[in-house]
Amino acid sequence: MLMTSGTGPASGWIKPRRRPSTYALKEGEKVILIDAGSPEAVMDVMEVFGKPECALISHAHLDHWSGINVLRWTGLKTYSHESTFSHPYFKEITDMPFELELRAIEYFEPVEVCGFSVVAFPLRHSIPATGFLINEKVAYLLDTKGLPEDSFKFLKDKVEYVIIDAALPDGVEGPHNTFKEAVDLSLDLGAKKAFLVHLLPSLSVEEVLSYAEDKGLDAEVPYDGQTFKL
């Protein structure tokens, strides 16, 4: 099961309410958090799925990890690439992790994370960012604009579901995909379904979904608090 607990960009949305990036997967009794951008969204994950024992953190931007504060005393095993842990934005955590266990993982080397198989790979963003392929099925692709070639080749035709950065309106340049780039990349990867997330509040969800439909992509722009059977 996937829970989309925080589906917004750094600014969030007021209406409908979308908090910064916070997702979780549950299989049996095992729960992992994928980013933790909002303390409240992390608490909602705990209420619906139970307490996560592990977290994957994509990068050091605050809107992807500040919610981890609510788990600082729980022994949470916190995984990312070394470039996240060594980044100055993450210094508050690396200086004082309290009971968080920080575990650096290498790119393209499978590791077991609380019962899930995880492979990390580089994304393309304004600071170093890491994507994750989980259980050879779900790829977490934010924040990113496109993908480095080795990551694209690694994922192509291997991934069923993508949770993908679709932050920007068409024609806007920045370190994020436009919604059209997110749809096109999902199709190029051969994904069976795409969760388009991190949309700026100025985007029209209807426009995003109608572009995906025209292109023949099964896509959702999920709300906070939704759960999906994968």
| Residues whose CB falls within 8 Å of the CB of residue 59, separated by 6 or more in sequence, listed in order | 80, 84, 87, 123, 125, 127, 128, 129, 130, 143
Sign of CA dihedral 69, 70, 75, 78: negative
DSSP secondary structure letter of residue 75: T
Please, which residue, 114 or 163, has the CB nearer to Zn ion? 163
| Residues near Zn ion (CB under 5 A) | 61, 63, 143
Q: Which is nearer to Zn ion, 60 or 159 (CB)?
A: 60
Residue closer to Zn ion by CB (options 53, 63) is: 63
> Least Å distance between CB 45 and Zn ion?
18
Structure tokens at 193: 């379904």
Q: Based on CB atoms, which residue is closest to Zn ion, 114 or 129?
A: 129
Alpha-carbon 221 to chain mean position:
14
Q: How far is the CB of 110 from Zn ion (least distance, A)?
A: 25
CB of 99 to Zn ion, least distance (A): 26
Shortest distance, position 10 Cβ to Zn ion, whole Å: 5
Count Cα atoms within 13 angstroms, Cβ side, for 216.
Answer: 3
Token pair for 185: 């990349």
